Structure 1
Amino acid sequence: MSSPVSQTPSQTVLYSERLLPALWIWLVVAGISGTFVLAFIPISLTVGIVVAIVAALVLAALLLMSTPRIRVTPETLQVGRAEIERRWIGEVAGFRGEDATQQRGPAMNATAYLCIRGWISPVVKIEITDPADRTPYWLTSTRHPEKLVEALQQTSR
């Protein structure tokens, strides 16, 4: 869900994306919820259906509440709960396919900040240049690595 959205000049959003779960995650939620019908059939089919619906709503709410957002403004970058001033951002690179797998695995630094979702393959690596921050870079999943890199490379820092 990336979209260039404008607000007041100081709050202009250059890029915004929610890392929503993939379709297969929602199918797993439906399957888990459906098992409640089977578990409650000995009591009552109606009770089983009601419990399954409540379970589906609760699981969906938990998934949506835990969905991180990426947000780039002229002054800041927010990835999940982390936020940094853009003046502390160095090199930015997007990766897809095998390169993304490499970044999420063998090439990953254990001290990096990660906002990775298993259902989103592409990633963007964002170098952190703040001398007071021991984090060498942020690595975040994104469905649109080219758009995120472009927003972060805009010179309106």
Structure 2
Amino acid sequence: MQLSASPYEERLTAPSTWWLISFLVGVSLALILLPFGTLPMLGGLAGGTAVAAVVASSYGSVRIRVVGGHLIAGDAKIPVSALGEAEILDAEEARAWRTHKADPRSFMLLRAYIPGALRVDVTDPADPTPYVFLSTREPERLAQALRAAKESADAS
């Protein structure tokens, strides 16, 4: 397997405030179960916090990688040869592409807590997906890694 010239990996982790919210979900469940006694209340605190934390962790575990001539974003694995030019989007432009400019056929890896994004055209004529929209904290670095991987794939 050939590695790209500029490997890239990013985990779209949930913000730290989500962990506080997970604890508050447990507190809420504990308060709901308080009339049933101390043990149900403690079980609600532990169980509610654990379930909310698992949800936050799962939602924030998605990764974006550029490796081996492929862009891997969540469940999608796209060869860089099928991708066109990458467009770096600021927070306002990313919001527009998530809403009124969005094409329902596009592949979107959205995380609302990440303001920046990258939009990459899909140039494969056999693929009906017009573009890939990726929420990313480092759009410049991701665009650079895609360019390097494409140049490396073209050179081989």
* Bin for the TM-score computed over the shorter chain: 0.7 to 0.9
For 1:33 and 1:144, locate their aligned partners in 2 and report how far apart those are by CA, in whole Å: 33
Q: Which amino acid aligns with 2:130?
A: P
Q: 1:107 aligns with which of 101, 109, 116?
A: 101
Alpha-carbon offset, residue 83 of structure 1: 0.8
Q: RMSD in angstroms over aligned alpha carbons?
A: 1.8
Q: 1:123 aligns with which of 94, 117, 122?
A: 117
Between the two proteins, what is the percent identity of the paired residues? 28
Once the two structures are superposed, residues 100-135 of structure 1 have per-residue CA deviations (whole angstroms, 9 ceiling, x without a partner) of 222222222221111101111111101111111000
- 5+ residue gaps, structure 2, are none
What is the aligned length?
149
Higher mean C-alpha deviation, range 27-36 or range 122-131: 27-36
Alpha-carbon offset, residue 60 of structure 1: 1.7
Q: Which amino acid aligns with 2:54?
A: A
Is residue 107–residue 133 contact of structure 2 (8 Å, CA) maintained in 1?
Answer: yes
- 5+ residue gaps, structure 1, are 1-8
Once the two structures are superposed, residues 2-37 of structure 1 have per-residue CA deviations (whole angstroms, 9 ceiling, x without a partner) of xxxxxxx73567111111111232232222111111
Q: Which residue of 1 aligns with 2:42?
A: 49
For 1:19 and 1:90, locate their aligned partners in 2 and report how far apart those are by CA, in whole Å: 23
Is residue 69–residue 79 contact of structure 1 (8 Å, CA) maintained in 2?
Answer: yes
Q: Which amino acid aligns with 1:42?
A: P
Highest RCO, 1 vs 2 (Cα 8 Å, sep ≥ 6) = 2
Question: So what's the TM-score if we normalise by structure 1?
Answer: 0.85
Which runs of structure 2 are paired with 1:3-152 in the superposition (5 Å)? 10-11=2-3, 14-66=7-59, 67-152=61-146
Is residue 37–residue 45 contact of structure 1 (8 Å, CA) maintained in 2?
Answer: no
For 2:111 and 2:32, locate their aligned partners in 1 and report how far apart those are by CA, in whole Å: 31
Q: Which is richer in helix?
A: 2
